Amino acid sequence: MTVKAPRKSVQKELVVQTGHEPERWPEVVLKELVDNALDAAEQHDQPVEIAIALRPDGITVADNGPGLPAEVLEGVLDFSVRVSSKDAYVTPTRGAQGNALKTVLAIPFVLSGGMVGAHVIRARGLEHRVTVAVDPLRRVPVIRHDAVPCPDVSSGTSWRVCWPEQASLNVEALTPQFLQLVSGHAVLNPHVALTLDAGGAVSRFERSAATCGHWRPNEPMSAHWFSLERFRTLVAAFVAAEADGGPSRTVRELVAMFRGLSGTAKQKALLGPLGLSRVPVRELVKEGDVDRAVIASLLTAMQGASTPVKPAALGVLGEAHLGAWLKTYGGVTDTVKYKRIADVDDRTSLPFVVEIAFAARHPDGDGRRLLTGTNWSPALVDPFRAFSGLGFGLSGLLGHLHVEPADPVTVVVHLACPTLPFTDRGKASLEAL
């Protein structure tokens, strides 16, 4: 299969999409592939295993999940449409970028100077060989996808991003950053075991919990997490997906996606008075846009028929886990401090959980360590730096509290919330609140 890739797949566009300059793209690739592997594997009741290999010629992330379906990969490769309306969902799961795998797909092509980028994906008995190159006649990028049988792959997904020689993937230089990122995934996901093989040097991060303790990607959304505008965005995404050849949904099927509204009797009682029992979602559009009056009544009825989610139900890492992690990585036992705030935001009415853990380390010369994350995904940079409540970000706040960059301390800050106001497509920075 050969399809046209986007004309705008250039370095400047990818910086906007990822939120980072090219020198950090190896970390971007690792973070996005691990986040996607976790999202897939967490939907099944089995211990999650993720193996990462860093080599001069590529980065590979393999998981023990259900395996990437071929049709989903086809959607990733089609740059004319989005593979899903994930970014319209309101749920406390990793990212919701919606186009993360598309950016991963484009990175090696851009780093090659627009010559060729390659990927090898193994899943469900197939090896998918994907290349991004340039049509010499039309001078536009094209994606070529060939699938061949791979009988030894019966479970999980392995995605290898082949790194172009022009970009020089320095394993020795990248190992500390990769270790920091993988340790971040480990501390924010106690139920996951991770292995990093960096040029033959293997680091193992064992799980400390048997099961996933936070909101899973396949759990239903809550109607109470939606404002009218967010609900309009979701309905519009479903209508647009159907227009692009996706499935046709009824309003009843839409309602069934929400927490506490899956019962037939409840759906009938909710939709009957509104006259929406057998109405397709596409008929919620009036004069070219979603009819706000109709969906406002629908959302109000959905919220009235369901119970709000308590903040702590989003998921809590907990003092025991964070304290044990800090001690394992050099923290002084009697200096460990932990604080948790689980509440509902007055402005957005969204539940949230903030956890902060701190420990002094035995002096080792490498200074202050700041590990931040949102919805169980570690951040490459401080995502809270624009918060008006902090004024100058976490690093500045720590300095204000006389915790200097050279001090041997570790600080962990994690925020869980159904939706987060990121300022960029790469989820690198949150808007000031």
pLDDT, position 6: 45
Last residue of a domain, one of 177, 205, 233: 205
Say whether both 125 and 8 belong to one domain.
yes
Number of Cβ atoms within 10 Å of the Cβ of 22: 15
Percentages (nearest 5) of helix, strand, coil residues in the chain? 35, 25, 40
Rounded Cα distance between 163 and 169, Å, is 7
Give the residue among 23, 1, 5 at the shortest CA–CA distance from 117: 5
User: pLDDT value at position 205?
Assistant: 95
Same domain, 117 and 255: no
Same-domain status, 91 and 235: no
In a domain, 200, yes or no: yes
Q: Is residue 432 part of a domain?
A: no
Residue 39 lies in a domain: yes
Residue 75's H or E segment, with its range, is helix 70-77
Which of the listed residues 176, 205, 234 is the one where a domain comes to its end?
205
Which pLDDT score is estimated for 229?
95
Show Cβ contacts of residue 178 under 8 Å, excluding neighbours closer than 6 positions.
Answer: 26, 27, 30, 52, 54, 196, 198
Q: How many domains does the chain have?
A: 3
CATH number for position 368: 3.30.230.10
Instruction: Based on the fold, state whether residues 61 and 177 are members of the same structural domain.
Output: yes
- Separation between Cα atoms, residue 24 and residue 17, nearest integer Å: 13
State the Cα–Cα distance between residues 317 and 37, nearest whole angstrom.
Answer: 20
Tell whether 176 and 30 lie within a shared domain: yes
Which domain, by its residues, includes 6?
2-205
Residue 421 placed within a domain:
no
Query: 153 in a domain, yes or no?
Result: yes
Residue 210 lies in a domain: no
Per-residue confidence in pLDDT tens, the chain, 433 aa: 444 444 444 688 888 888 889 999 999 999 999 999 998 888 887 889 999 999 999 999 999 999 999 988 888 887 655 444 466 888 998 855 456 788 899 899 999 887 889 999 999 999 999 998 877 777 667 889 999 999 888 789 999 999 998 888 999 999 999 999 999 999 999 999 999 999 999 999 999 998 999 999 889 999 999 999 999 999 999 999 899 888 899 999 999 999 999 999 999 999 999 999 999 999 999 999 999 999 999 999 999 999 999 999 999 999 999 999 998 877 788 899 999 999 999 988 999 999 999 999 866 657 888 899 999 999 998 887 766 455 556 777 787 777 887 888 899 999 999 988 776 665 666 765 5
184: left (phi over 0), alpha (psi -120 to 50) or beta: alpha
Contact 178, 159 (CB under 8 A): no
**Quick one: 121 and 35 in the same domain?**
yes
Question: Which of 304, 329, 353 finishes a domain?
Answer: 304
> How many other CB atoms are found less than 10 A from the CB of residue 94?
23
83 shares its domain with 183: yes
Same domain, yes or no: 294 and 335: no
Same domain, 257 and 357: no
State how far the Cα of 189 lies from the Cα of 38, in Å rounded to an integer: 9
Residue 430 inside a domain? The answer is no
Same domain? 200 vs 65:
yes
**Whether 49 and 68 share a structural domain:** yes
DSSP assignment of 181-215, as one string? HHHHHHHH-TTEEEEEEETTEEEEE--S-SS--B-
Domain membership of residue 218 (yes or no) is no
Q: Are residues 236 and 111 in the same domain?
A: no
From 325, 383, 385, 329, select the one nearest 357 (Cα to Cα). 325
